[in-house]
Chain A
Amino acid sequence: MKTILILDDEFAVRESFADYFEDQGWEVVQAESAEQAVALLEQRSVDAAVVDVRLPGMDGNDFIRTVLPGVQNTVFVICSGSPEYSIPSDLIDIPCISKTLFKKPVKQIGDLEQEILRIMDRMAAGRRER
């Protein structure tokens, strides 16, 4: 079963993502802060993570920077409600991070899921080649 981490401080948003992915047959783990998510990823690995940017304490960018060296095949999708946000330049070219920034409210979560699956496939193909 594919697993996904939903990192968002807003309960309703987190739940709405969780509900969707559960319906689509994913195993969902949730975190309401980056610190919590870092702790969680030390316990277990996930296939994908939906990461909010503005968070209390550590923000989404720093969360990715923190966990990136320790994870192998996790796909990150950044999702923000902030209009001025854009993906930082040090993160945008990393293959496991989606280049597409999803703005909240996400119009079709299906698109977001497709993006995750696409990157997962690409990474799997890359591993096979190696």
Chain B
Amino acid sequence: MMLRLDKVVRGVAVLLVLLFCVFVVFWENSEGKLHKKQMRDHAKVIAPALWNLDPVAPSPYLRLAAAHNNYGKITVYAIRANEPFIEINGPEQSGLSKALAAVRLIPQIKYRTPIVYNGKTIGELHAVHRHGTVYLYFSILLFLGLILLVVKFFVLTLQGKQKLEIRVRERTKDLRKANSYISNIIDSMPSMLVGVDTEGTVTQWNIAATNETGIQPDKAVGNSFENLVPHFKDEMERITEAIRTRQEQTDLKRPRRKDGETRYEDVTIYPLIANGVEGAVIRIDDMTEQVRLEKMMVQSEKMLSVGGLAAGMAHEINNPLAGMMQSADNLTSRLTNMEMPANIKAAATVGIDMEQIAAFMEKRAIPRMVGSIRESGRRVAQIVDNMLSFARKSDSQVSSHNPAELMDKTLALAATDYDLKKQYDFKTICIEKMYGPDLPYIPCEGAKIQQVLLNIFRNGAQAMQEAAPDREHCFYLDLSHEKESGMVRLEIRDNGPGMDEETRKRVFEPFFTTKPVGVGTGLGLSVSYFIITENHGGEMAVESTPGAGTTFIIRLPVSPKKEGS
């Protein structure tokens, strides 16, 4: 574009020079012709006077002609005469013309024309023409130069404009690139980042903010922050404070209710301290998960200390419990077993019939009472046992386990574990196994993973049989190897009642339970979650829709993670 404009100027210049040359040639030619014709006219006028040898009469005419045609000198010669008949000098030349004439810029051109009278040549008219076209040419050249200058100037302006435009375009592009890069960085932040000016008007709104609030950046920017996020109304003071004092303001684990649950946010307000910029950046991080985990860890620690205590106490409790329960068993057999020789012998010794004893016992509900002792003792034993499950961290031993084997062992455990409790018989639940091929061994604490699986089975079995005791209950077990992420996925799906959103979100919370008071501790799943995520560096999630069953998904790393125990 720039090159072309340069060529245009050069082309115009060449064209103008050519035109000028053509003009000069044409002009010189026509000037010559004109002057020759004029000389002939002059000759005609003065011919009679020469014939009559009257030098006075033509003089005024010749003077006029010299002045008019810019002749330096006009001379009339009679034929064959050496002396001029009439000689008239032209008007005095100006200083400039004289100077120009001296450097031959105004050439002196001589014209000669014969003077003819009645068909006879009677003399000759000589004239020296001061050829002043240089003025004309000079004017034209000046004019052309001016035109060229104007064109040049125009082109320069145009070029400058173009250059400017290109630079502006480049800079805009750079700016846009830089801008999008910065936006990208800001949008990549997991935190909600909001820029505000001193008035609290939003100047920056990243994707996390859009995701959190559902407000698009173009709707947010330019609006007041407190209107956009009403629950931050009381943070406005902090923002003002941060900008005024140029000090960062933080508010950690700020609780707020959202969709019926408490969420925790860390709010940090950074004042913008660059010169000429007034405002602040508000950073909001959702800490709910972390708070939840912290609570769970505290809970888990608590349970561990409870467990430690329980381990020490278990022996002390189990011994008297053994005395009590084993004696109760003996009591039952001695009072009710009518075939036992020792019983029959003892009865005979005191002279009573075994039937009578049995009848008396029945009448006084002694077997029921002994049954109560046994049942109560059994519950004490179970409580001690449950408490101990938290204590068994110390003997943590990671070894390689086949996930399918772990699952099968747990199923066997569940089957035997549950015929103790007649409420729900695990053996009636159908199990559908979908074990993927080539499942890799996983490094884990087998007993702990079994504890987690058992817990899920226990909860599932209970939920299914409580919700619909008569239908067929199933567990669908899906084990697969996720090669890309290097995880083994254990999926346990049931066809139970499922759970609502509120419950689903809270199942891993410590002490959250849907079971009646006294039935569950509400710790099972939170401890399970802890075992999977903290002890094994895995993941545990739950998916559920009311009426459509529940799916627990456990993902365990195939290669051991450093943070795992």
Contacts and interface: CB of A to CB of B under 8 A. Distances in A.
Contact of B311 (A84, A106, A108, A109): A84
B340 to A, nearest CB: 6
Contact of A109 (B323, B326, B342): B326
Question: Which of B316, B321, B326, B377 neighbours the largest number of chain A CB atoms within 10 Å of its CB?
Answer: B326
A10 interface: yes
Contacts of A25: 341-342
Interface string B313-328: 0111111111111110
B125 interface: no
Given A82-B315, A83-B315, A105-B381, A12 B388 contact: no
A95 interface: no
A83 B327 contact: no
Question: Which of A12, A17, A54, A104 neighbours the largest number of chain B CB atoms within 10 Å of its CB?
Answer: A104
Q: Please classify the interface of chain B as helix (H, G, I), strand (E, B), loop, or mixed, using the class held by over half of its residues.
A: helix
A121 interface: no
Contact of B330 (A19, A54, A81, A104): A19
Interface string A52-85: 0010000000000000000000000000111110
A11 B343 CA distance: 23
A122 B306 CA distance: 43
A16 B315 contact: no
B333 A16 contact: no
Interface string A22-34: 1101000000000
A81 B319 CA distance: 6
A105 B377 contact: yes
Contacts of B324: 12, 105
Interface string B328-355: 0110011000001111000000000000
Nearest to B314: A83
B16 to A, nearest CB: 112
A15 B327 contact: yes
B93 to A, nearest CB: 137
Nearest to A14: B323
A104 B322 contact: yes
A25 B342 CA distance: 8
B388 A83 contact: yes
Contacts of A19: 327, 330, 334
A10 B326 contact: no
A108 B330 CA distance: 10
B318 A105 contact: yes
A13 B391 CA distance: 26
Contacts of A81: 314-319, 321-322
Question: Which of A25, A81, A108 neighbours the largest number of chain B CB atoms within 10 Å of its CB?
Answer: A81
Contact of A12 (B311, B315, B317, B320): B320
Contacts of B315: 54, 80-83
A22 B323 CA distance: 16
A109 B316 CA distance: 20
Contacts of A106: 322, 326
Contact of B329 (A54, A83, A109): A109
A10 B342 contact: no
A23 B311 contact: no
A10 B327 contact: no
Chain A, interface residues (CB within 8 Å), range = 20 to 34
Interface in B380-399: 381, 384-385, 388, 391, 395
A104 B327 contact: no
Contacts of B340: 23
B314 A13 contact: no
Interface in A1-46: 10-13, 15-17, 19-20, 22-23, 25
A53 B330 CA distance: 23
B314 A82 contact: yes
A118 interface: no
A20 B329 contact: yes
Contacts of A22: 342
Given A15-B323, A16-B323, A25-B341, A104 B318 contact: yes
Contact of B327 (A12, A54, A80, A84): A12
A10 B329 contact: no
Nearest to B385: A83
Given A19-B330, A23-B333, A11 B323 contact: yes
B153 to A, nearest CB: 101
Interface in A99-118: 103-109
Contacts of B323: 10-13, 15-16
Question: Which of A16, A80, A106 neighbours the largest number of chain B CB atoms within 10 Å of its CB?
Answer: A16
Contacts of A17: 326
B322 A23 contact: no
B326 A83 contact: no
A16 B330 contact: yes
Contacts of A108: 329
A10 B320 contact: yes
Question: Which of B322, B327, B343, B391 neighbours the largest number of chain A CB atoms within 10 Å of its CB?
Answer: B322
B343 to A, nearest CB: 8
A23 B342 contact: yes
A10 B340 CA distance: 27
In the A-B complex, the 8 residue pairs with the smallest Cβ-Cβ separation, listed nearest first, are: A12-B323, A81-B318, A16-B326, A104-B322, A105-B322, A105-B325, A82-B315, A16-B327
Interface of B: 311, 314-327, 329-330, 333-334, 340-343, 377-378, 381, 384-385, 388, 391, 395
Interface of A: 10-13, 15-17, 19-20, 22-23, 25, 54, 80-84, 103-109
19 contacts: A10-B319, A10-B323, A12-B320, A12-B323, A16-B326, A16-B329, A16-B330, A19-B330, A20-B333, A23-B340, A23-B342, A23-B343, A81-B314, A82-B314, A83-B315, A84-B395, A104-B319, A105-B325, A109-B329
Given A23-B343, A81-B315, 16 more contacts: A10-B320, A12-B320, A12-B323, A13-B322, A13-B323, A17-B326, A20-B333, A23-B333, A23-B340, A23-B342, A25-B342, A54-B315, A81-B322, A82-B314, A105-B324, A109-B326
